[in-house]
Amino acid sequence: MSSSSKHAETMCIHAGKTYDRQFGSLATPLYQTSTFVFDSAEQGAARFAGETEGYIYTRLGNPTTRELELKVAALEGMADGAATATGMGAVAAATLAFLQQGDHLIASHAIYGCSFALFNHQFARYGIEVSFVDMTDHAAVEAARRPNTRMLFAETPINPNLVVLDLEFLGRFCRQHQIKSVIDNTFLTPLLQQPARYGIDIIIHSATKYLNGHGDVVAGIILSDAETIQTIKLTTLKDMGATISPHDAWLIIRGLKTLSVRMERHCQNAQRVAEFLQAHPAVATVYYPGLPGHPGHRFIGTQMKAAGGVLAFELKGSLDDGRYFINQCELLSLAVSLGDAESLIQHPASMTHSPYSAEERRLAGISDGLIRISVGLEHVDDIIADLQQALVKMQLQQK
């Protein structure tokens, strides 16, 4: 039975796994080594020349890291993967491997703040042009294309306002015009969405988030066909050095074993929290694709299996009211990131998306009053109770 024919829950545990034949270890061995010993000078030369398989140096490959790459690739329906030191390492390595001076990138208006900073601030230094567009407007995407357009980059759902993009359209558009497509699938994981089904060329994750799931790793991963991954590994990843630590790879492998049960609870809890907030008189708007009124709700059951564990909302009140509310939360931790066991709450405009100017945030649909919650694995009644007491305190403060 091939790994591709197994259920995702099984692949989270077994895909990519190579059992230790010497000692019979059930758990994946941690190869915590910087370099690997050759049997002879001839063997070392052959490995460097690519004539024989084998490990050389952990920046170039490591058995523990390799299991992680193959496991997530199998989950995403891709042939291969490249693990990186951070999620931004994945974004940078995947884009810069295929862009050069004079090329043009189309990117979504709203993306993670550091992805935006890389494209908007750093790429200009290297002569790479970037157009930021509203990718829910298909005509705007078409209009942004230029003769030198080489790549399209987007997230869906979008961080932080949970806008859902049509992957079928984006995949078709990129194939039609021979544009390399890159989708950040961090928010949903391969269990809830597989962009490769829609012809997306490259998928990236901040493995810091749901793939690890325990808030004790920073890492990223790139998934694609074998040739694309080889190009990334032999160029930007090797030469810029954003490769993952074997120990971090080992922690993510361990985290992946519970990904399916964690995502089920994250989604259940987030749905309940979104419904609570939508019904609360102090809340103006809730952004969560699991709610029937959300424009992205139509993609659930087709493009997306579920809405994920992140939601955003706006309060009826000022920015100061929002800050006061956040400060009153006791169970929810005031911290950036997402996908942890703990529920996390943060203010995107002043935190994760602070690289945007006020006008850039306006164009991206990121209001100053937007609050984002990564709904954790606590009992949902306790999460709601904490939000309720904070909202009551805010309402009293407003009087």
* Sequence letter at residue 393: K
Residue pair 34/57 in contact (Cβ under 8 Å)? The answer is yes
**In contact, 259 and 211? CB cutoff 8 Å:** yes
DSSP, res 398: H
Angstrom distance (rounded) from CA 20 to CA 82: 22
- The active-site residue, picked from 59, 257, 272, 305, is 59
Among 80, 103, 166, 184, the active-site one is: 184
**Cα–Cα distances in Å, from 162 out to 44, 54, 125, 238?**
49, 43, 30, 34
Give start and end residues of each alpha helix (H) in 241-318.
246-256, 259-279
Which of 31, 55, 112, 198 is labelled catalytic? 112
Is residue 316 among the annotated active site residues?
no
Q: Which residues contact 13 (CB under 8 A, 6 or more apart)?
A: 256, 257
* Residue with token string 């419904």: 275
| Residue 59 known to be catalytic | yes
Annotated catalytic residue: which of 66, 71, 145, 209? 209
Let me know if 55 is a catalytic residue: no
Q: Which residues pair with 311 in a beta bridge?
A: 373
* Opening angle at CA 207, ends 248 and 119, nearest 5: 120
- Would you call 112 a catalytic residue per the annotation? yes
Would you name the residues annotated as active-site residues?
A: 59, 112, 184, 209
